[in-house]
Chain A
Amino acid sequence: MEKTARFKEFLRENFLAFFCFCVLILINFVNQLSMGESSGYIWKNFLWHAIGFLLFMIILIIFDYRKISLGLIWIAYFLMVLLLFILAIFKKRWLVLGPLSVQPSEFLKIILLYLISLYISKKRELKLENSEALFLLGVIVLPLLFLMPVDLDYAFIIGFMFFIFLLFFGFPKRLLIVLTLVGILLFIIITPLMWNKLKPHQKGRIYGYLDPEKYYKTWGYQLSQSLIAIGSGGIKGQGFKKGWSTRLNYLPAKNTDLAFSVFAEAFGLLGVTLFFTLYGYLLYWSLMVSKKAKDLLGKALSLGVFLILLVQALFNIGGATGLLPMTSIPQPFLSYGGSITISTYLLLSILFNIAFRRVFFK
């Protein structure tokens, strides 16, 4: 095939996804603008997107996802574990580098994704032995052990998304059953023991989740305000910059954790549906990329990106709407933050790279 024809094919297959991606970035700008924060915030957000987009383009064109060696990833993995270990000692969630503060857990996701995908791609069959499954679980849990003391929510969610990820690669059924039983048993035994060890704010989150109206002024405050913001949005929304909860500062952490609530208040169910359609299409497209990818590494990587984005949305939106306990994780394309923005661009650049390589390097 000619190059132009291939390029046309690439465009035909991926243009819609790219379009969705761009609209979602636009939504992010609009949403951040609607919070009525100072212009410094807006410019910083813009800067992160600019950097992210630049990285995205560079990786898409120059990089080849197959050219990464397992050894390199292992080194990155252990450096990350070391970093998390040091941060855990200092009880820090953020790595502060001068004016920058980086959330390592965002990048841990990418490293784990690559590590597991590469490991699996070396296999001949889509089936894990017990030892392999346990080994991979260990690989996942090790960094999370150091993440847990400073960011329990994210550690749990990362563990959850990669455990689901492993299930896609022929996780041994017996082991799964045993692990489930052990998990339930541990939960029953540990919960009463751990309950008193939980920090007040962690306990409070559970109280707040169980009965937000009762703990309206304390633990349930965040969830109550989120529910009021979302619910008062209605179908059409209260309009750009007009939402009461946002404008009058009733929503806590509106830039980050509850950015979705801000969006739902301002643009209502219509806006939410638009967001779901775009985000949903992007996720569906990543499954399509995984289906069409010609090698297992590509398939695994794109499936992993899919799961990361899906689980992230599940916990963020589920928390904001009171379906799941409130967790402090950001929502891709809605929340503000350097780490989440860059990592989202990186994940998508991997996806587009896989799609790109399939067409160009047959």
Chain B
Amino acid sequence: MFDKWQKKERLDEEWEKRFFYGNLLLFIILGILWIRLFYLQVVKHSYYLNKAKMRSIVSYVIKAPRGEIITADGVVVATNRASFQLYLDLENLRDEEEILKKLSLILKEDYGSLKERFYLAKKVSYGRVLLKRNLTWDEVARIMVRQYYLPGVIVEVEAERFYPYGEAYFHLLGYVGRINKEEYENLKNWGYSPEDFIGKKGIERLYERYLKGVNGRLEIERDAYGRLGKVVGRTSPIPGEDIVLTVRHDLQMKAYELLKDKRGTVVALSPKDGALLALVSMPSIDPNKFIIGFEEGEWSNIINDPKRPLLNRAIQAYPPGSTFKIITALAGLEAGIVKGPNWSVYCPGYFPFGSHIFRCWERKGHGTVGLKKAIAQSCDVYFYIIGAKIEIDFLANVARRFGLGSLTGINFPDEKEGLIPDRSWKQKRFKLPWYPGETVNISIGQGYLLVTPLQMARAYMALANGGYLYKIYALKGIHSKKGKILYQEKLSLERKIEVNENFYQWVLDGLKSVVEDGTGKAARVPGITVWGKTGTAQVVSLRKKTKLMEHHAWFVSFAGNSTPEIVSAVLVEHGGSGGAVAAPIAGELYRTYYKLPPALPKSEVKEEIIEEVPEIEGLNNSENQNYGENSTF
């Protein structure tokens, strides 16, 4: 065959070039492929490894049981209970309708409503969809035996929050609810999963980071057909820590009972250290509803309810009414206007000031009134006279020293500061100078003045313990599940209020006689000394008086054998007069505190008539009250 070529050498020579090109082609092609593989396997390795893991490993969150909340007397008021939940895993759900049809047969539920619930839940959840909670054992068994035919259907046991005492603790403990998108975005780096529940209000929110615990994780292999294989990783959840409150369960429940069907609040404090003993606000909601879900329309009813059940009234701002007179009295003593306990004025039932006449609630007048009687009978004229003489900034300063107009330290996010008006405030707010008549109004706790029931209780606490203004706290300690004490709250003194010992004594004498023979007789407890002050805060002018617009009834007081041991503030919104409505509640509370039997059916008490405040110059009364109402709600 070679003979066709003159020389074999010529063929070889020509072939040399082809050999070169062949090699070139070989190295270029294999080189490019190798470089591409280097890029995929080295440069992008972690990217693809991550994708491979995400695709082939399903990871489930094992929710950490939330820490319990326990009262000072050892009652568990927030706990967990096991519940079977039915989830649909969207990634593994091949045929939604088919599965829903099967489930509707298994659960014996209407297919249409199940489907509707699924699509509603799908909208708000990301990841798994919770289709049904609290399955019965029977339902669990029926699903488990058919699990093979129900790909994507998961039944899980979860620890679910449970509040055994429902409404009674709602405003104190708050509640937990499913984490929302915004919260999740903020907290996802703190170990939160999109299915978690999170404290939304009150103690649950305040101590979220202790109560939460650490979620566990279960990692299971999943093949291309969605079948789950072996477990490749498991981290056990760490339960949350238990929280012990300073609150006494018996007081809390009593306060709840007393306020039932009313609108108002009861707070009780220990004058020794500012520990919260009870906090109830009514109307309230059962916090369990946030977990099991509201019925159709129930939630919008709650939001639109004019009684505002979501509002924690203990930390909302109200006009203090006559309960403020103690501050006026102390300010009068300090300013030297009230020369002593025997310094007296004559009350004819009215007080002319400028061109206006301020009326005492007692039209007939109280006659000659000293400090003790003024407090006991809540004589308006006595305090008008102080108000007429005192400088507003001085009075405001005394009020602020008692913690009015500032936060109490309980740290609830919806706590209001209230308002202690003075000259600079008015200048800023209305661009108007202060009128002396307004001070007269303030001196009996009306006007622009706004305080929260908790602030008021705290101010009286400082009276009860001789001037120690503690920060209010509700957390006694945090305990680990093993019983180890992780954290113990230390009492924290905000300030010692420097007031002449005698002044305290004189005012205390007045408070004592309020209950002994004054406006607060309904709070009397046999064998126990009760100091208190009634108040009836005006909400709207008398002429427009309706049942709804009745005045707020106040009673702020403390009780003890020889030294005060419990302070309380009672406010009943639109309840009527403080002496008739609020004082008996305080009395019952103290009976519970001292473990005494409840009082006999209501003894006849002379009702304190509403203190009337006529319109004064430069201040439209109803507008003023609107302002108050606005900040109340």
Question: Would you give the shortest CB distance from B364 to chain A, in whole angstroms?
Answer: 88
Question: Would you give the shortest CB distance from B621 to chain A, in whole angstroms?
Answer: 69
Other A-B pairs beyond A233-B41, A279-B30, A283-B30, 6, CB < 8 Å: A126-B11, A230-B41, A234-B42, A244-B55, A248-B221, A264-B37
Asked whether B142 is an interface residue with its Cβ less than 8 Å from the other chain, the reply is no
Assembled-state Cα–Cα distance A19/B38 (Å): 26
Asked whether B23 is an interface residue with its Cβ less than 8 Å from the other chain, the reply is yes
Interface string of A212-253 (1 = CB under 8 A from B): 000000000000000111111111000000001101111000
A231-B49, A295-B1 as given contacts; A244 in contact with B21, CB under 8 Å: no
Assembled-state Cα–Cα distance A229/B224 (Å): 13
B32 touches A291 (CB 8 A): no
Specify which of A168, A228, A232, A323 is in contact with B32 (CB 8 Å cutoff). A323
A234 touches B45 (CB 8 A): yes
A-B contact pairs, 9 of them (CB 8 A): A230-B40, A245-B56, A269-B37, A273-B34, A276-B33, A279-B30, A287-B26, A290-B18, A299-B18
CB closest chain-B residue, reference A283? B26
B55 touches A228 (CB 8 A): yes
Question: Would you give the shortest CB distance from B227 to chain A, in whole angstroms?
Answer: 9
A291 touches B14 (CB 8 A): no
A317 touches B26 (CB 8 A): no
Q: How large is the interface on A (under 10, 10 to 19, 20 to 34, 35 or more residues)?
A: 35 or more
Chain B residues in 8 Å Cβ range of A148: none
Chain A residues in 8 Å Cβ range of B225: 249
Asked whether A147 is an interface residue with its Cβ less than 8 Å from the other chain, the reply is no
Asked whether B223 is an interface residue with its Cβ less than 8 Å from the other chain, the reply is yes
CB closest chain-B residue, reference A323? B36
Chain B residues in 8 Å Cβ range of A232: 45, 48-49, 51-52
Question: Would you give the shortest CB distance from B301 to chain A, in whole angstroms?
Answer: 44
Assembled-state Cα–Cα distance A323/B47 (Å): 18
B37 touches A321 (CB 8 A): yes
A248 touches B30 (CB 8 A): no
Chain B residues in 8 Å Cβ range of A294: 2, 8
What number of B residues sit within 8 Å (CB to CB) of A?
A: 44
A interface vs B, CB < 8 Å? 66, 121-124, 126, 168, 227-235, 244-245, 247-250, 264, 268-269, 272-273, 276, 279-280, 283-284, 287, 290-291, 294-297, 299, 303, 306, 310, 313-314, 317-318, 321-323
B interface vs A, CB < 8 Å? 1-2, 4-5, 8, 11-12, 14-16, 18-19, 21-23, 25-26, 29-30, 32-34, 36-38, 40-42, 44-45, 47-49, 51-53, 55-56, 221-225, 229
Chain B residues in 8 Å Cβ range of A299: 11, 15, 18
Number of A-B contacts (CB under 8 A): 134
B14 touches A321 (CB 8 A): no
Q: List 7 A-B pairs, minimum CB-CB distance, nearest first.
A: A231-B48, A248-B223, A232-B52, A249-B224, A269-B41, A234-B45, A232-B49
CB closest chain-B residue, reference A272? B37
B1 touches A66 (CB 8 A): yes
Question: Would you give the shortest CB distance from B40 to chain A, in whole angstroms?
Answer: 5
Chain A residues in 8 Å Cβ range of B48: 227-228, 230-232
Chain B residues in 8 Å Cβ range of A290: 15, 18-19, 22
Which of A287, A303, A310, A323 has the most B CB atoms < 10 Å from its CB?
A287
Assembled-state Cα–Cα distance A303/B162 (Å): 80
B41 touches A317 (CB 8 A): no
Assembled-state Cα–Cα distance A184/B605 (Å): 108
Question: Would you give the shortest CB distance from A103 to chain B, in whole angstroms?
Answer: 24
B1 touches A121 (CB 8 A): yes
A313 touches B29 (CB 8 A): yes
Assembled-state Cα–Cα distance A122/B3 (Å): 11
Chain B residues in 8 Å Cβ range of A249: 223-225
B34 touches A234 (CB 8 A): no
B224 touches A248 (CB 8 A): yes
Question: Would you give the shortest CB distance from B330 to chain A, in whole angstroms?
Answer: 74
Assembled-state Cα–Cα distance A109/B532 (Å): 108
